[in-house]
Amino acid sequence: MKYKENDVDYILDLFENNYRTKRIYSEGNWIRRIKEFDFNKVFKAEVFYNRKGQPFLRRNINEETNAIEDIYLLSENKHFKNNKELGSYFLSNLIEDTSDNIIVCDGTGSLDKIIGTNHSHIQKYAVMHTTHKTPQGKIKKVEENVLNNSESLTGVVFLTQDYINDVEIEYNLQNSYLIPNFIKEIPENHKPSGNKIIGCISRLVEGKGFDLLINVAKLVINKDPEIEFHIYGEGSHKEKIKEMIINNNLENNVKLFGYTTNPYETLSDFRCVLSTSQSEVQSLSMIEGMLAGKPIIAFDIKYGPSQFVFNNRNGYLIPNKDTLSMAEAIIDIMKDDSKYVDYGEESRRIVLKEFDPDNIMNKWISTFNKNK
C-alpha cells in the first residue's frame, strides 16, 4: 500500500503467487478505479467506480498494442469500440443540437470525437495551432486529419493568413477563418536593458533550430566575447543542447536556465529576443518579447514570424538558416542604442494593435453569429 502525502489517498496493489493482479486507486473512502494485470505483468483492463461504489465503465486494453479496444459503459448498458466513439456519444447527449451551441476543438487529436456526434445544427470549429507538416516536409497525421475533414466542420480557424493561403487550394477549404491567439497578461511597464544578453524562451525540442543558434552564438562571440545567450525552457533536446555548448567551448557565453514561471521578469534582462526555430505558427515567446518592448531577430520561416516581425522596423527577419546575417543583426542591435529602443517600442505598438484581446474576441463572436 502506497500513501500520498495527506495519508487519505492511497494505491493498493494486490498480488497472487507473487504476481500483481490488480492496482486499486482510492480517494478517501472512495475506490475510484481498479487496474487489472495478467500474469506477464501486462496491463489488460480497468474499471471505474462512482462514489456509491458502483462500477460504471470498463476499458479493455489490447495487450500487444496497448490500445483501448473495447469500452463498456455499464451504467447505460452500452458498448464502444474506442475512446472516439465514447466521446462522440457523450457530446451528443450533453449538448443540445442547436446553432446557438458551439464546440471548439482546441486539440486536434479530439477531432474525430467532435465530428462523430449526431448533431446536425450545432457549430463545430477546429483550431490549427501548429502546421500539418514537419520542417522536413513529413505529414503530421493528426493535423492533416482536420484539413481532410473540414467539410464536417462549421469552420477551421488558423493563426496566420500565410498558412491559409498554402492549404486552402490543396485541401479545398471553403470555411477557413483567420483568428490569431491573444495575450491575456500584458505588462504595463517595460524598460530597455543595458545587458549584453540575447534571450531565447522555447521548448527544448528538435525543430527549434538550436544547432543554428549555437552557430550564430559562435559568430557573435568571436566579434564580442562579452555577449551572452540565455536559453530558458525544458524539453527532450536539452542534453543534446548541453553537448553542443560544451563541444563548441561556449559554456561561459551560452547558458541554460530551465523553465521560467515569470516570462516578463526574465525578458526584462534581454537586449533582444532571438528565434532560430524551424517550425512556428504563432510564437508566444516572440509576442511576449514584443510586449516587453524588445526587438525580435528571427528566421523567416513558415508561418509565423513574418506576421509580426518587420525588417528594420521592430527587428530583423533573416533569410532562413542564414546564420551569418543573423549574427550581424545581433551585433548591430547591440551597438546601436537608439535603434534598440526604437525597435523595442515599435514591437510593443505592433503587438498591442495586432493581438488586442477585445479585437480577437470580436472576431470569434462575429464568426459564431455569422454561422448561426
Q: What is the pLDDT of residues 255-297, one digit of tens each?
A: 999 999 888 889 999 999 999 998 877 788 888 899 899 999 9
pLDDT at 136: 80
85 vs 97: CA distance, rounded Å: 18
Give the residue among 132, 136, 164 at the shortest CA–CA distance from 148.
132
Mean pLDDT of 207-229: 95
47 vs 16: CA distance, rounded Å: 19
Q: Kindly give, in sequence order, each residue whose CB lies less than 8 Å from that of residue 116, ignoring residues fewer than 6 positions away.
A: 84, 85, 87, 88
Q: Which three cell numbers stand for residue 265?
A: 521578469
pLDDT digits (tens, 9 = 90+) for 146-175: 999 999 999 999 998 889 998 999 999 999
Mean pLDDT of 310-324: 95
pLDDT band at 7 (very low <50, low <70, confident <90, very high): low
Helix (H, G, I), strand (E, B) or coil at 46: strand
Q: What is 71-126 written as a DSSP string? A: EEEGGGTEEESSHHHHHHHHHHHHS-SSTT-EEEE-SGGGHHHHHTS--SSSEEEE
Percentage of the chain modeled with pLDDT above 90: 72
